[in-house]
Structure 1
C-alpha cells in the first residue's frame, strides 16, 4: 500500500479549478436562476415539459444522463466484486434505505405535518424513492468509494422496482389504518418504476462500463485515466447545474407563490437528511468501514430519487397537487443540504484514523479509495491530490 502524507483540506481549494472551487456558489446560483426563469418567463414551463422521457421532462432526463455518465465512466469495474463481498456494507445499506429511511420519513411527516395530509403524503413518497442518480455526484465530491457507490446504487435500483409499490401500500394505507390515522391510496406502475431505473441508471451505467472496457482495451488504463477521463469529467458538473436550473424552472412559480407551505415541508426534510446522513456515518464507523465506504453508505442513505417521487406524485395526484409540491421541495432542500454535508465529510476525513482511510486496489497502485474530489476535477492526478 502506498503511504503518502495526508492532504490538508484547507489547501484543497487552491488546487481546484475556478468552477470546482466555488461549487456551492454555482449550485445556489443555478437554483435561483431556475426559480426566476420559471417565475418570470411566460410559457417556459410548458416548453420544458412538452417532451418527456418516461415520466420525466426531456431536458431533466438529458441533464441526469450527462451528470451520471462521467462518474460511472470512472468506476473501476474490475474491482466491483470486492465491494459486493462486503456484506457489512451491503446489509447496512439495505437496512438504512428500505427499513429506516421510509419509517423515519413516515414518522417525521406525521409528527410535523399532522394537519396537512397532501404534503404529508408527498413526503412519504419522497422517503420511499431511494436515490439512484445524484448521489454519485455527492459521493464523488466527498471522496467516497466510487465502486461501492455503483454497487449500492444498482442494489437500490433493484429494490426500488420490487419494493416501492409494496412500501407505498404499507405506509400510506396499511400502517395508518392500523394506527387509526388517515389513509391514502397509492396506485403506481411497477413497469413505470422499472423504466425510470433502466433509463436513469441503465443507460449511463452501460455507457460508463463500455467506455472503460473499450478505452482500456484500445489505449490502456494509463491513457484512459490520464487523458480520457479528464476530458469528459467536467460534463458531470455542467450536467448537474443544467439539471438544477431546469428542475427549478419547471416549478419556480409554484415555489415562489407558496413560501409558507414550502417552509412547512422543508422542516421534516431537513431533519430527514441530517438524521439519515448522520446515521449512515455512525453505522459505518460502528461496523468498521473505512472512511470512503462510510461516506458512500451515508450519502446513499441520505439521498432520494426526486425524479421518481415527483413523477409518481404528479401521475397519481396531479401536477397542482400538494403531493407534487412536496416532491418538488425535496430537491430544493436536498441539494444545498447534501452539498454542505460534502464539506462536513471532508472535515471528518481529516479526523479519521489514517489506517482506515485507504483501500488496496487489485492493480497494486495503492490508490486511495474514491480518489476523486469532484466530477469535474482537471485530472486523475489532481484528484488523488485532493482525496489522497
Structure 2
C-alpha cells in the first residue's frame, strides 16, 4: 500500500473540511457544477468517476475466472457473503439504526435517503483495494484475482436488481431508468474500456507495460476520488454543520456490517476447511465495498444534495482504518484458524491424495 493510500482517511477528512469551506464561500460555483447534467447524469462527476473506476478495472483479468475450481470453497463462501448476505444485512442495519435508533436525531426528510445510500454502498463488492488487503493478509493471489473477476462479472447483472429490490422493500421510489443508466455508465462501459486497454497494453506479451500504466493511473484515480468528495461536501456542508453527528451515526451500521460480514466469511471458510491464505482475502472481499461505484450511483440516483450521497462518502471515510483492523485480526488469528477441525481434515485429505 502506498503512503497516499495508507493515509486515505486523512485525505478524505481534509476533503470534508475543504468542501464545506468552499461550499460556504463559493455557492455559485457548486450550483453551476450541479446544473451541468444530461438525463440526470452530472457530466463533471461522470468524468471523475471514470477516472476513479477504469484504472481499477484494468487490473482485473477476467480470464482468471477459469481458475474458480482451484479454490471452490473460498469462492462459494465469498459469493454467499457478497450477494446473499451483505446487501440484505446492510439494509436491515440501516432500517434499525437509521430508521429507528437514530431517527429522532436525523432530518426526517433524509432518513430514507440515508438508508438508500447504505444499500447502494453494500450492493457492490470491492474491486481494487482488495488486492491491497489480500497482499497485507498474505492471501493467495490467484484466489483474489479469480474472486474479483467473478464478482465484477456478477455485478454487471446483479447490482441493479438487488438495489431495486432493497430500495423497494424500504418504500423508496426506485428510479429504474436512472439506475440502469448508472449501471451502464459506471459498470458496463468502464469494464469494456478497461479490458480493451488491458488487452492493447498486453498485446506485446510484456507485463511491465501494464505495471507502468497502472502506476501512472492509480494516483489519478485517487485524486479523482478526492475531487469528487470535495464537490459532494461542497453541497452537503450546510447540513453537516447543522448536525455534525450525522457522519458518526451513519458510520455505525457500516462498521457493524464490516465486522459482521468479515467475521462470518472467516468462520465459514474455517468450517469448510479452506486454507488461511484463501480465508483471509475471502473475509476482506466479503466485507469491503466498491465505494467508487456507490458514490457514482448515489449521485446519479438521488443527487449531490441527498443523504444517499453522504452515506456512501462515509463509507469512503472509514474504509481504510476499518479494513486494516480486519487485516490485523486475520493475521493474528492464523494459529487459531489452522487448528480448526475442518482445516485439519482437508489438509489431511490433500496430504493423502
Q: C-alpha distance in 1, partners of 2:256/2:211?
A: 38
The answer to whether residue 112 in structure 2 is matched with residue 121 in structure 1 is yes
Q: C-alpha distance in 2, partners of 1:83/1:286?
A: 21
The answer to whether residue 147 in structure 2 is matched with residue 148 in structure 1 is yes
What CA deviation, in whole Å up to 9, does each residue of 1:331-359 have, x standing for no partner?
Answer: 442222112113213423532539x99xx
TM-score of the superposed pair, with normalisation by structure 2: 0.77
Let me know the Cα RMSD of the aligned residues.
3.2
Per-residue deviation at 1:107?
1.8
The answer to whether residue 195 in structure 2 is matched with residue 212 in structure 1 is no
| Contact 2:61–2:149 under 8 Å retained in 1 | no
| Contact 2:60–2:149 under 8 Å retained in 1 | yes
The answer to whether residue 87 in structure 2 is matched with residue 88 in structure 1 is no
Secondary structure of the 1:290 match is helix
- Deviation larger for 203-212 or 223-232: 223-232
Residues 297-308 of structure 1: matches in 2 within 5 Å? Answer: 297-300=286-289, 305-308=294-297
The answer to whether residue 180 in structure 2 is matched with residue 168 in structure 1 is no
Q: C-alpha distance in 2, partners of 1:251/1:345?
A: 30
Per-residue deviation at 1:268?
4.1
The answer to whether residue 276 in structure 2 is matched with residue 295 in structure 1 is no
Equivalent position of 1:7 in the other structure: none
Q: C-alpha distance in 1, partners of 2:323/2:38?
A: 30
Secondary structure of the 2:134 match is coil
Equivalent position of 1:49 in the other structure: 34
Residues 203-282 of structure 1: matches in 2 within 5 Å? Answer: 203-217=189-203, 219-256=204-241, 258-259=242-243, 262-263=244-245, 265-282=246-263
- Larger helix fraction of residues: 2
Equivalent position of 2:179 in the other structure: 193
What CA deviation, in whole Å up to 9, does each residue of 1:128-180 have, x standing for no partner?
Answer: 324577943443443373552343244345333223333323222xxxxxxxx
TM-score of the superposed pair, with normalisation by structure 1: 0.71
Per-residue deviation at 1:287?
1.8
**Alignment CA distance shift 1:24-1:97 (3 Å):** closer
Gaps spanning 5+ residues in structure 1: where? 1-11, 173-185, 358-388
Secondary structure of the 1:305 match is helix
Equivalent position of 1:374 in the other structure: none
**Alignment CA distance shift 1:336-1:98 (3 Å):** closer
The answer to whether residue 96 in structure 2 is matched with residue 107 in structure 1 is yes
| Contact 1:122–1:327 under 8 Å retained in 2 | yes
| Contact 2:125–2:286 under 8 Å retained in 1 | no
Q: C-alpha distance in 1, partners of 2:220/2:79?
A: 30
Per-residue deviation at 1:244?
1.6
Per-residue deviation at 1:208?
1.7
Per-residue deviation at 1:188?
2.4
**Alignment CA distance shift 1:302-1:245 (3 Å):** closer
Per-residue deviation at 1:20?
4.3
Q: C-alpha distance in 2, partners of 1:132/1:67?
A: 18
| Contact 2:52–2:225 under 8 Å retained in 1 | yes
Q: 1:350 aligns with which of 318, 331, 352?
A: 331
Aligned length: 316
Per-residue deviation at 1:96?
2.0
| Contact 2:40–2:300 under 8 Å retained in 1 | yes
| Contact 2:125–2:290 under 8 Å retained in 1 | no
What CA deviation, in whole Å up to 9, does each residue of 1:32-88 have, x standing for no partner?
Answer: 212211111140111211212553422222221111111111112221233596222
- Deviation larger for 268-277 or 330-339: 330-339
What CA deviation, in whole Å up to 9, does each residue of 1:288-340 have, x standing for no partner?
Answer: 152122211110399982433344345xxxx87xxx2x224314422221121
**Alignment CA distance shift 1:248-1:202 (3 Å):** same
Equivalent position of 2:139 in the other structure: none
Q: C-alpha distance in 1, partners of 2:312/2:168?
A: 24
Q: C-alpha distance in 2, partners of 1:301/1:65?
A: 13
Secondary structure of the 1:330 match is helix
Secondary structure of the 1:195 match is helix
Per-residue deviation at 1:199?
0.6
Q: C-alpha distance in 2, partners of 1:124/1:191?
A: 20
**Alignment CA distance shift 1:53-1:112 (3 Å):** farther
